[in-house]
Amino acid sequence: MLYSRLFGKTTKNIISDADSVNAKLLSQAGFISKQLSGVYNYLPLGLRVLKKIQQIIREEMDAVGGQEILMPALTQLESWQTTKRQDLPILFHLKGQEDNDLVLNPTHEEVVTPLAKNFIFSYRDLPSAVYQIQDKFRNEPRAKSGLLRGREFNMKDLYSFHSDQADLDRYYELVKQAYFKIFNRLGLEKQTVLTFASGGSFSKYSHEFQTVCPHGEDTIYLCQKCHIAVNKEIISEQDTCPECGAADLRETKAIEVGNIFKLGTKFSSAFNFSYQDNQGNPQPVFMGCYGLGPSRTMGAIVEVFHDEHGIVWPSSVAPYHVHLVALDLFDAKVKSQADSLYQQLLSSHLEVLYDDRTELTAGAKFTDADLIGIPVRLLISQRSLESGGVEIKRRSSQKSEIISLNQISTKIFEN
């Protein structure tokens, strides 16, 4: 992509109500643009990151046998009355033209349970798991912190259906491992800890995945021995680690990026959703639900990976692999070498953002590159060509070196 043509460039304006690092950096760097409190536009750079996060999640959900579907945002209020959740304050209410009562779904148990009831009849149809990557709505009283707490936000929600508690338990562990793989691929493995939360009527605990971060909205208590954590609800009931029994739990701030929950028969009972066992007898369906928010995770990644100059994207979700910065473009020889290097990188299937602007100083271009945070910066200029090639510098490092044009592909993928 030519940076000169990119829709959504960096801006020096401090976003007036950017109340968090992720809102500030993502807005200034041209990834998102605020529509209203808790509601954002994704600009081309931001949408590329969001899609990469979604694709990593999708692959790991497919790997645990999840089948992707897409459920609607609009739903009858009646479905929420069935589960007695119609008074949730975060429900957006609206009226259809025949004056029927509708809501915008903040979660989809009320949709997926009757949907699954249409297709799951027998023990032969179980287990089954479906997920979607879809936009949800929550009428948050305090939408804030950029992508961390939205009123319209992207969510991956997986729902699983089982013949009994044991099979739900088995699948729950499988999804837990899939979540670790996802946070590993997103570069968040060191910061993200499994956190015990209260479990409702069907299970002692549910689990959150909390990304430790100074500006997190949640408070968790991290076991210094086994590196799991408990949340506020749990610490009020017990002050030892539920995993290893240790008593050294240290308070820390974190962002909840995922949660997994054994629903048991709570929703299947509400919707009279049962299956026939191999004796022909009706049995209740056991359910699990597993959330992970791509947009919130994007915010969390920025909260964790930034420095005073801007964002430092992990490679797996960076909007582009390479930021090619060209200087001295008034010099036809440099211009021609820079353009041909850009084409060469594209033919090597690299994703490249090419800063081809002629009117900017080297300093302004470097500032933009640091703010945007693409992992590898290649600099081509009169001086670099005189020195034998291009300068390569990683966003995460101060070091730079001159390499020859034919070393580029190898060097980019070095760590």
Binding site for a second copy (CB under 8 A): 4-9, 11, 30, 33, 35-36, 39-44, 46-47, 50, 65, 67-76, 89, 92-97, 100, 102, 104, 111, 115-116, 118-119, 124, 128, 130, 135, 137, 139-141, 151-152
State the nearest-atom distance from the C-beta of 14 to a second copy, in Å.
Answer: 14
State the nearest-atom distance from the C-beta of 363 to a second copy, in Å.
Answer: 20
Amino acid in the structure at residue 173: E
State the nearest-atom distance from the C-beta of 44 to a second copy, in Å.
Answer: 5
Dihedral sign for Cα 186, 56, 296, 31, please: positive
Comparison of 112 and 263: residue with beta carbon closer to a second copy: 112
State the nearest-atom distance from the C-beta of 95 to a second copy, in Å.
Answer: 8
Comparison of 41 and 404: residue with beta carbon closer to a second copy: 41
CA 90 – CA 362 distance, rounded (Å): 48
Comparison of 330 and 406: residue with beta carbon closer to a second copy: 330
How far from 333 is each of 72, 277, 355, CA to CA, in Å? 55, 76, 17
Q: Residue 307's CB: how many other CB atoms inside 10 A?
A: 11
Instruction: Choose among 146, 217, 175: nearest CA to 57.
Output: 175
Comparison of 34 and 253: residue with beta carbon closer to a second copy: 34
Comparison of 203 and 268: residue with beta carbon closer to a second copy: 268
Comparison of 130 and 194: residue with beta carbon closer to a second copy: 130
State the nearest-atom distance from the C-beta of 369 to a second copy, in Å.
Answer: 18
CA 6 – CA 16 distance, rounded (Å): 24
Comparison of 89 and 280: residue with beta carbon closer to a second copy: 89
CB-based burial label for 292 (10 Å; 0-12, 13-18, 19+): buried
Amino acid in the structure at residue 160: S
Spatial contact of 325 and 366, defined as CB atoms under 8 Å apart: yes
Comparison of 11 and 348: residue with beta carbon closer to a second copy: 11
CB-based burial label for 55 (10 Å; 0-12, 13-18, 19+): middle
Instruction: Choose among 186, 155, 166, 143: nearest CA to 73.
Output: 155
State the nearest-atom distance from the C-beta of 123 to a second copy, in Å.
Answer: 13
State the nearest-atom distance from the C-beta of 8 to a second copy, in Å.
Answer: 6
The DSSP bridge partners found for residue 93 are 103
State the nearest-atom distance from the C-beta of 167 to a second copy, in Å.
Answer: 15
CA 224 – CA 222 distance, rounded (Å): 6
Instruction: Choose among 85, 105, 110: nearest CA to 94.
Output: 105
